[in-house]
A and B are shown apart, each in its own frame.
Chain A
């Protein structure tokens, strides 16, 4: 469904120097699959997400191919991209408070895409917004649809962010550190919601995180990035249990023992 080939992103600094922040990334992603992208700050993982969404800052330039059902997104005009964002690709950000409009009721924000893109009437869009809130397990959805973001907890806000991304039933969801700002017990609930979306709705998911524990929990395949480059990619179980790149091993070794679980250096080789 999504094929990325030799994606490079260059950023031109104010002094005219170019820095390559994404360097030759390639992967494919099918329906109902989750790709985890893991890396530390500055690894280029967010730039990768933004380039797929066509949301790169003006100083950045992407080259290569991003094929969404055989259509190269990098060749589309801004106007054409507007038809892709939201409708075919939904995005979820890290900080639900800054990603939401503080002055608008959450129902209005969910309904916006439905009215603009899908041509729904206000009342239909509102009914659909309530369904979406139920889909992401917001309790008392009928009341919460009229709440403002500041009246909700961080976990509830992130559910709103997911509901907005889901509204137009995109084929692909891109989530950039969606649980990083949340408590672990809330994170668990949000990860369960992502699982349901992938399993029940057959969405494809790109899940970006610095947290290997979370990636291990959610991703079918994992791409490890450092300085814009792919260190390795493969099925998550293989990448985490039998890493082929030294950098993956370094990352795993840096994890607190508890999170690393039974993955100790010695047992890495013993696995079949």
Chain B
């Protein structure tokens, strides 16, 4: 078996909390000794509720934040041991899609400029217009859309623009943090389908973070469950969702309303 594309080893992130008087200090361990690896072409889902540390994890994997302890290895290279210049060069290999399709695109820039932005990571840039067009077309938009502005697009289309931007440098790893959570159901299904197509077509590896088990089941090959900063369970998606080992996973599964439950409510009340 080939080496994993992404390895996360004993990752820990502490935040310092100050009390109101500013003196008493307390550490909050947002990510607590988390380890996992993601194989090439695999989608690893991370599921958990607010405050479980899943977004902090995403930020550290993207090297947007530094861990208190542990390391992140991309193709065997530890991101936090690279020089700033080397890290910058490596950034083309890992890109991110955020939750909010309204907040993550600069409203003053044309779509073409937004999508071309990651190219500065490559140093030399050529055929920008063609590459932007190709990227937009790969996510189901038109080459002409490069001339338009974000406000002219719906939420789902904006998320396509964000994906086109993330794919611009041909990344090996895509980190998606609640990338479909703000979208209407029918649009959410379209974006999930797009991501799965991209995975099949480009062999994209993904770290897909979501609070929604249904969405995770659609897209992830394996899933890790986070609770209070810890990765409490990880395994093949079907195994974790159908035979959860950890009590918290079971609680999460039980809490989610599914249509199996229609009309059952007052019978149990």
* A residues at B contact (CB < 8 Å): 40-41, 154, 183-188, 191-192, 195-196, 199, 210-214, 216-218, 236-237, 240-241, 250-263
Q: Does B255 contact A (CB under 8 A)?
A: yes
- Residues B186 and A213 in contact, CB atoms below 8 Å apart: no
User: Which of A192, A250, A262 is the one whose CB lies under 8 Å from B260?
Assistant: A262
The 6 closest A-B CB pairs, nearest first, are A256-B214, A261-B260, A213-B257, A183-B49, A40-B184, A217-B257
Q: Does B78 contact A (CB under 8 A)?
A: no
Complex: chain A residue closest to B154, CB-CB: A41
Q: Jot down 17 A-B pairs with beta carbons below 8 A, ordered by A.
A: A154-B50, A183-B50, A184-B252, A185-B49, A191-B257, A213-B258, A237-B263, A240-B259, A250-B186, A254-B189, A255-B185, A255-B189, A256-B213, A257-B217, A259-B259, A261-B260, A263-B259
Q: Please, which residues of chain B bring their CB within 8 A of the CB of A210?
A: 184-185
Distance (whole angstroms) from the CB of A182 to the closest CB of chain B = 9
Q: Please, which residues of chain A bring their CB within 8 A of the CB of B256?
A: 184, 213, 258-259
A187 to B188, CA, bound (A): 21
A183 to B52, CA, bound (A): 11
Distance (whole angstroms) from the CB of A245 to the closest CB of chain B = 14
Interface residue ranges of B216-239 to A (CB < 8 Å): 217-218
Distance (whole angstroms) from the CB of A237 to the closest CB of chain B = 5
- Residues B217 and A211 in contact, CB atoms below 8 Å apart: no
A156 to B269, CA, bound (A): 22
Q: Please, which residues of chain B bring their CB within 8 A of the CB of A191?
A: 257
User: Which of B211, B214, B262 is the one whose CB lies under 8 Å from A259?
Assistant: B214
- Chain B interface SS verdict (over half): helix
Interface residue ranges of B182-202 to A (CB < 8 Å): 184-186, 188-189
User: Which of B251, B261, B262, B269 is the one whose CB lies under 8 Å from A185?
Assistant: B251
- Residues A236 and B185 in contact, CB atoms below 8 Å apart: no
- Residues B252 and A213 in contact, CB atoms below 8 Å apart: no
Distance (whole angstroms) from the CB of A41 to the closest CB of chain B = 5
Complex: chain A residue closest to B261, CB-CB: A217
- Per-position binary interface string of chain B over residues 122-153, scored 1 when its CB falls under 8 Å from any chain A CB and 0 otherwise: 00000000000000000000000000000000
Complex: chain A residue closest to B254, CB-CB: A188
- Residues B257 and A214 in contact, CB atoms below 8 Å apart: yes
- Residues A260 and B186 in contact, CB atoms below 8 Å apart: no
Distance (whole angstroms) from the CB of B251 to the closest CB of chain A = 6
Using A196-B269, A216-B262, A217-B265 as known contacts, say yes or no to A184 and B214 having CB atoms under 8 A apart: no
- Per-position binary interface string of chain B over residues 241-269, scored 1 when its CB falls under 8 Å from any chain A CB and 0 otherwise: 10000000001101111111111011001
Category for how many chain B residues contact A? 20 to 34
Q: Please, which residues of chain A bring their CB within 8 A of the CB of B257?
A: 187-188, 191, 211, 213-214, 216-217, 259
Q: Does B215 contact A (CB under 8 A)?
A: yes
Q: Does B212 contact A (CB under 8 A)?
A: yes
Q: Please, which residues of chain B bring their CB within 8 A of the CB of A185?
A: 49, 251-252, 255
Distance (whole angstroms) from the CB of A67 to the closest CB of chain B = 27
Distance (whole angstroms) from the CB of A176 to the closest CB of chain B = 16
Interface residue ranges of B47-70 to A (CB < 8 Å): 49-50
Complex: chain A residue closest to B190, CB-CB: A254
Distance (whole angstroms) from the CB of A49 to the closest CB of chain B = 18
Q: Please, which residues of chain A bring their CB within 8 A of the CB of B188?
A: 254
- Residues A188 and B255 in contact, CB atoms below 8 Å apart: yes
Q: Please, which residues of chain A bring their CB within 8 A of the CB of B218?
A: 256-257
Given pairs A186-B49, A216-B258, A251-B185, 7 additional interface contacts (CB within 8 A): A212-B259, A213-B256, A216-B259, A216-B261, A254-B189, A255-B185, A255-B214
User: Which of A186, A187, A260 is the one whose CB lies under 8 Å from B259?
Assistant: A260
Distance (whole angstroms) from the CB of B52 to the closest CB of chain A = 9
Distance (whole angstroms) from the CB of B253 to the closest CB of chain A = 9
Q: Please, which residues of chain A bring their CB within 8 A of the CB of B255?
A: 184-185, 187-188
A40 to B184, CA, bound (A): 6
Q: Please, which residues of chain B bring their CB within 8 A of the CB of A187?
A: 255, 257
Distance (whole angstroms) from the CB of A227 to the closest CB of chain B = 13
Q: Please, which residues of chain B bring their CB within 8 A of the CB of A240?
A: 259, 262
Using A211-B257, A218-B265, A240-B262 as known contacts, say yes or no to A40 and B186 having CB atoms under 8 A apart: yes
A1 to B188, CA, bound (A): 37
- Residues A237 and B262 in contact, CB atoms below 8 Å apart: yes
- Residues B211 and A184 in contact, CB atoms below 8 Å apart: yes
Q: Please, which residues of chain A bring their CB within 8 A of the CB of B217?
A: 256-258
Q: Please, which residues of chain B bring their CB within 8 A of the CB of A254?
A: 185-186, 188-189
Complex: chain B residue closest to A255, CB-CB: B185
- Residues A256 and B212 in contact, CB atoms below 8 Å apart: yes
A251 to B251, CA, bound (A): 27
Q: Please, which residues of chain A bring their CB within 8 A of the CB of B215?
A: 256
